[in-house]
A and B are shown apart, each in its own frame.
Chain A
Amino acid sequence: MRNNLEASNKTAFLTGMKHGIPIALGYFAVAFTLGIVAKKAGVTALQSMIVSATNAASAGEYVGFTLIGEKAAYIELAIMTLVANARYMLLSCALSQKFSDKMKNIHRFLLGCFITDEIFGISISVPGKLNPFYTYGAAAVSVPAWSVGTYLGVVMGNILPKNVVSALSVGLYGMFIAIIIPPSKKDKKIASLVVISMVASYLSARIPLIASISSGTRIIFITVVISSVAALLFPLKEERKDEA
């Protein structure tokens, strides 16, 4: 029994690592550009690598580095970090429902280090309950890529050809698409939500006044409004409890 459990943790970890590869590629490219921002703010390569390892948050780190460059007050940095990363709170609420009752407490504290949009995206889409080792596997390849990418971004600036950075930068989005399309194919409600969310996101990014709000805040707003309306119009039925 115990052996089985360990084997399945190992399998989950390895599967997580495999699924973490595209995340790592995308992270590397994005982190590289983030490193360039860090350098402008006067943060050293090592410091920026530590920030990336301890935050693993693109928008949050971007805001943070920018404020550090402006020598902002500590409280301002704290508030803006909260605003830029507030969507993780929603993601964590959703992920909290994915745990088995038997899962040890320590995993909740560890998983808290790794809830990025991407790692969350693959973790929430595993069938049934989440084995935390799946998430650790994904984090084990992607968080180092994120941290090293930031480091190299500071050190090497613009060495990587521009078109390579451009190509790598869609890797993350390709993965998001691969997460949301298969359920959309099966469920028309999800398909319509996906389309509506994209249209709302497009409009909010292009309408002058709204577009000046940070993208993190716009996405929180869209997520709360559309998910609430969807929850009112299409409440989940009781028997689907285990699926969600």
Chain B
Amino acid sequence: MTHNIYIYMLIMALVTYLIRVLPLTLIRKEITNTFIRSFLYYVPYVTLAAMTFPAMMDATDSPVAGAIAFIFAIILAWKGASLFVVSVLACIMVFVIELMPFIH
């Protein structure tokens, strides 16, 4: 059986869109159940934290550079730096550290 690339593409787009749009369109009211409200309130923090660590160390060529940038970014964010500043300085940190010959 041969597979058409455009059908593949359509399936991916459709499935991905439905996953996103169904909750947005079906949940019309403010949820009053305390458990669900609390659960949804905590979801972004848990999911973003879980996605960041340890993935940040695995994303860079040198895990040490990723780890240092991770700590550096936390300090910057703690001091109140903006999204953009934290993000760009974390990138620069990785670049500089990976230039050092003893980091591999």
* Residues of A bordering B, CB below 8 Å: 18-19, 21-22, 25-26, 43, 47, 50-51, 54-57, 60-61, 64, 67-68, 71-72, 74, 77-78, 81-82, 85-97, 105, 108-109, 111-113, 115, 117, 120-122, 124-125, 162-164, 166-185, 190, 193-195, 197-198, 200-202, 205-206, 215, 218-219, 222-223, 226-228, 230-232, 234-236, 238, 241, 244
> Is B43's CB under 8 angstroms from A222's CB?
no
CA distance A91 to B51 in the complex (A): 13
Q: A residues within 8 A CB of B62?
A: 166
Q: Count how many chain B residues have C-beta atoms less than 8 Å from C-beta atoms of the other chain.
A: 75
Apart from A54-B13, A121-B44, A228-B39, what 12 extra A-B contacts exist at CB < 8 Å? A25-B88, A108-B24, A112-B21, A113-B21, A115-B20, A169-B60, A181-B77, A182-B77, A197-B45, A206-B54, A230-B46, A244-B40
Can you list, as one digit per residue, whether each of B45-67 has a CB less than 8 Å from chain A (1) or not (0)?
Answer: 11111111111101111100110
> Is B48's CB under 8 angstroms from A180's CB?
yes
> Is A87's CB under 8 angstroms from B16's CB?
no
Main secondary structure of the interface of A (DSSP, over half): helix
20 interchain pairs (CB within 8 A)? A22-B84, A54-B12, A55-B16, A72-B3, A85-B19, A105-B25, A121-B48, A169-B59, A173-B56, A177-B52, A178-B76, A194-B45, A197-B45, A197-B47, A201-B49, A223-B43, A227-B46, A230-B46, A231-B42, A241-B37
